[in-house]
Amino acid sequence: MASRSLGLASKLTSFSKNNFISSSDLNSDQIFSLFELAKQLKIGDRRIDLGNRVLGLIFKKASTRTRVSFQVAMARLGGQTVDLNPQITQLGRGEPIKDTARVLSRYCDALAIRTFSQKELEEYAYWSTIPVINALTDLEHPCQALADYLTIQEKFGTLKGINLSYIGDGNNVAHSLMICGAMLGVNVKVCSPTGFEPDSQIVNKAKSLSEFGSKISICNDPSKAVKEAQVIYTDVWASMGQEEEHLNRKEIFEKYKVDQKLIRIANEDVVILHCLPAHRGEEITEEALESQNSHVFDQAENRLHVQQALLAVQLGGL
């Protein structure tokens, strides 16, 4: 146990004090080690007490899983969180990020930020002297991808060579799944309606980060996309901030619904994942979400374990 912990520590301490604003901020070795640590924390094989550290939460969008899992993770590490909701801070009255970030760096030990633009997050990271964590932007959701791949690793015992088909909008969740999956050896196929494919720069970035023979591909036909799938993943058709496009998207995405018909094309034991919250009857049917193949609540639980591991590393707890 002691030598196992030492091995993990030597791989992860290089990430101490680092930002996590994109899935590509961790390399594959660090991610696999982080998963080891998350599993130790999950089964109670390891306890880490950071001692009174404080994580600031700046959330410009709604959240259940991300907010609460960060709060519980900090509590389990012996620390706490402070809510820095823009409506109750001077941020809401226009105080610039460069001032806010420098002030909060004097009070907090890390910041988890959920906002719209990745540029804004990068500005926080630039001015902060403490680690900044992406709690979701329009471009990426890297903490989600960590929990997703930890869940897949638990289900299959490996990640290398696993075929994941993401059906739906080429959004933040799809982007982080591609980048993180490429580094971990997962074959990630993203299947979206024409015009709703993932950002081409992200696709190229993911391809350039491919390891262990991982293949990253884009397509438009859901029934072809799920043929060899071991994992089918979906997310909402209209993300936060796109509410006014919801009705229009419902028509465009109708063929991209994860239902029993689509699931039957895939492997019998296919694992169904969804980052949640789900819009039942839209991107996924009630039947599919509640089926034996669905592991969405194990997936949601892993947000806690993987973020606890991430915070322990970033805050120098190893």
Give the total of residues touching ligand NVA (CB under 6 A).
9
Q: Of the candidates 22, 171, 214, 294, which one interacts with ligand NVA according to CB under 6 A?
A: 171
How many CB atoms are closer than 10 A to CB 245?
Answer: 13
Catalytic residue status for 235: yes
Catalytic residue status for 114: yes
- CB-based contacts of 108, cutoff 8 Å, min separation 6: 54, 55, 56, 82, 130
Residue 78: phi and psi, rounded to 5, are 80, 10
Q: Of the candidates 167, 173, 209, 218, which one interacts with ligand NVA according to CB under 6 A?
A: 173
Q: Which of 138, 235, 274, 305 is catalytic?
A: 235
Counting contacts by CB under 6 A, is residue 234 touching ligand CP? no
**Secondary structure in 3-state letters for 17-43:** CCCECCHHHCCHHHHHHHHHHHHHHHH
Closer to ligand NVA at the Cβ: 12 or 306? 306
Q: What share of the chain is helix, strand, coil (3-state, %, to 5)?
A: 50, 15, 40
In angstroms, give the least distance from the CB of 146 to ligand NVA.
14
CB 293 within 8 A of CB 263: yes
Counting contacts by CB under 6 A, is residue 175 touching ligand CP? no
Q: Within 13 Å of residue 6, how many CA atoms lie on the same side as its CB?
A: 3
Catalytic residue status for 303: yes
Catalytic residue status for 141: yes
Catalytic residue status for 144: yes
Q: Is 113 left (phi over 0), alpha (psi -120 to 50) or beta?
A: beta
In angstroms, give the least distance from the CB of 66 to ligand NVA.
7
**Residues in 94-133 that interact with ligand NVA by CB under 6 A:** none
Among all residues, whose Cβ is closest to ligand NVA? Answer: 239
The binder of 33, among ligand CP, ligand NVA, none, by C-beta within 5 to 8 A per type, is: none
Q: Of the candidates 64, 85, 248, 260, which one interacts with ligand CP according to CB under 6 A?
A: 64
Residue 81 DSSP SS3? strand
Counting contacts by CB under 6 A, is residue 55 touching ligand CP? no
Q: What Cα–Cα distance (Å) separates residue 16 from each residue in 147, 202, 316?
A: 20, 26, 5
Beta partners for residue 191, in sequence order: 167, 219
Stretch near ligand NVA under the rule CB under 6 A, chosen from 87-95, 204-212, 220-228, 231-239: 231-239
Counting contacts by CB under 6 A, is residue 52 touching ligand CP? no
CB 126 within 8 A of CB 111: no
- Rounded Cα distance between 11 and 239, Å, is 35
Closer to ligand NVA at the Cβ: 136 or 310? 136
Catalytic residue status for 76: no
Q: Which residues are catalytic?
A: 114, 141, 144, 235, 275, 303
In the complex, the residues that contact ligand NVA under the rule CB under 6 A are 136, 171-173, 235-236, 239-240, 275
In the complex, the residues that contact ligand CP under the rule CB under 6 A are 63-66, 136, 144, 275-277
